[in-house]
Structure 1
Amino acid sequence: MKKEILATSVALGLTALALHAAAEKPLKTVNFVDIKKYLGTWFEIAAFPQPFEKGCSCTSATYGLNADGSVIVKNRCIKDNKLKVTEGKAWITDKGTNSKLAVQFFWPFKGKYWIIDLAKDYSYAVVGHPNRRYLWILSRRPTLDDQTYNQLVVRAANKGFDVRQLVKTEQIGDFSGI
C-alpha cells in the first residue's frame, strides 16, 4: 500500500514537473490555417470553465468573413432555457500562418485566439491562449468520438495546458441555425 502511494505521488510529481516545463515554452500554433475553410460553425466539445460561459449548454461559434478581411464571430449557447447570442470581431495577427487571431467582444478588451491543433479536413480544432488559462476543443459536429477527443487532450497537455480543468460541454442538439 505504501509503495502504491509513493509510486502515485512520484508519478503526480513528475507529471506536474512536465506540465510546468511545457507551460514555460512558447505556445506553438499550427503551421497554417486556411481561413476560408475555418469559417462556419464550430461546436464546443470541451473547455476550461470561464465566467462568460457559466450556465451555458449547446455552445457553438459561427465565423464569417467581413469585407475588410476581419472575421465576424457569433457565439451561441442555451442559458436559462433561452438562446444567448454574443457577437464579436476577430483579426488575424499572424498573416504568415493565420493561426493567431485577436478577438474582441467588448471594446476595448481583446483576447488572443490561437489555433494550436487542427484536423487536416477541418473537422476539429483546439484553440488556446498563450498564457494557457483558456482552452477550447471544437468540432464541426456536436459530438466528437472518444479516441479523437482523448488524443486532443493529450496533445494539449503536451503543450502545457492543465487538461484536468477541461469540462465537457453538453450538446443536446444543433442550434447553429437559430
Structure 2
Amino acid sequence: MKLKYFFLAILMSLQCNVVMADSATLPPIRAVDTVNVKQYLGRWYEIARKPMFFQRRCVQDVQANYSLTEQGTLSVENSCTTQDKQRSLANGEAYILNPPHNSQLEVSFLPKAIRWLPVGRGDYWVLKRDEQYQTALVGDPERKYLWLLARTTHISDTVWQAYLEYAKHIGYDVSDFKPTLQTEH
C-alpha cells in the first residue's frame, strides 16, 4: 500500500513539474511603455472578458469610467446590468505603480475608509492600446484576468482579432474570453 502512495506522489510531482515548465516557457507579461493618463480618462465599454468571481452577476452593458482625483490616483466607477436587470455600481481607486509610464496600476474596491491598506488590490496593467486611446487590452501579470475595452460599444472584427491574437501571443488562455453584450449604441 505504501508503494502505491509513493508512485502516486512521484506521478503528481512529475505533473507539477510539467505545469511549471509550461509556465516557465511563457514570455513575461509586459505593460505598454506609456499611458497618457489624461487620454485614458473617461468612459470605456467592456467588449470581452475572462470570467472572474467579482463580475459573476454582470451580464451586459459593462462600463468603466475613470477620472483623476486630487491625490493623483484614478477614481474608478464600474457599472453593469445584472441578471435581474438591475444596474450595479462599484466605486474604487487605482494607484499608479510605475510613474511616469503609468501603465501598471493596482485597483482597490475596498470601502474608502480602508483603501490605504495594502490588501485587497488587484493588478490592472494596460497590455496593448491603440494610439488614439480607442481600444485597450488590460490584464494582470499572472494571466488570470483579461479585459478588452473600447470607447464604443462595438468594435470591428479586425480589431477584435488583432487584440485576441495579441492576448494569445503573450500567453493568455483565451478559450474562456467571452464577448460582453452591449445593448447601448
State the TM bucket, normalised to the shorter chain: 0.7 to 0.9
Contact 2:26–2:170 at 8 Å: present in 1 too? no
Unmatched 5+ residue regions in structure 2? 1-18
Q: Distance in 2 between matches of 1:24 and 1:154?
A: 15
Contact 1:23 1:132 in 2 (8 A): no
Query: Are positions 1:46 and 2:57 aligned together?
Result: no
> 1:34 matched to which residue of 2?
36
Which amino acid in the other structure matches residue 165 of structure 2?
V
- Which residue does the alignment assign to 1:125? 136
Map 1:97-176 onto structure 2 (within 5 A).
Answer: 97-106=101-110, 107=115, 108-173=119-184
Matched, 1:84 2:88: yes
- Structure 1 residue runs of 5 or longer lacking an equivalent are 1-16
Partner SS state of residue 143, structure 2: coil
Aligned to 2:15: none
- The equivalent residue for 1:8 is none
For residues 22 and 139 of structure 1, the distance between their equivalents in structure 2, rounded to whole angstroms, comes to: 32
Q: Secondary structure at the residue paired with 1:24?
A: coil
Deviation beyond 4 Å, 4+ runs, structure 1: 20-23
TM-score normalized with structure 1 length: 0.83
Distance 1:156 1:97 in 2: 21
Q: Distance in 1 between matches of 2:24 and 2:174?
A: 13
Larger mean CA deviation between 35-44 and 107-116 belongs to: 107-116
Question: Following the alignment from structure 1 to structure 2, what is the Cα–Cα distance between the partners of residues 23 and 29?
Answer: 18
Count of matched residue positions in the alignment of Structure 1 and Structure 2: 156
Aligned equivalents of 1:22 and 1:44: distance in 2? 30
SS in 2 for 1:41: strand
Aligned alpha-carbon RMSD (Å): 1.6
Q: Percent identity?
A: 33
What is the TM-score when the length of structure 2 is the normalising length? 0.80
Q: Any conservation in 1 of the 2:134–2:151 contact (CA below 8 Å)?
A: yes
**Structure 2 match to 1:3:** none
CA shift, 1:53, in A, is 1.2
TM-aligned CA deviation for residue 147 of structure 1: 0.8
**In structure 1, distance between residues paired with 2:24 and 2:179:** 23
Higher-Rg structure is: 2
SS in structure 1 of the partner of residue 34 of structure 2: coil
Q: Tell me the CA shift for residue 23 of structure 1.
A: 6.4
Greater shift, 46-55 or 128-137, is seen at 46-55
In structure 1, the residue corresponding to 2:175 is in which secondary structure? helix
Amino acid across the alignment from 1:100: Q
CA distance 1:47–1:22, shift in 2 (3 Å): farther
Matches of 2:181 and 2:25 in 1, distance apart? 28
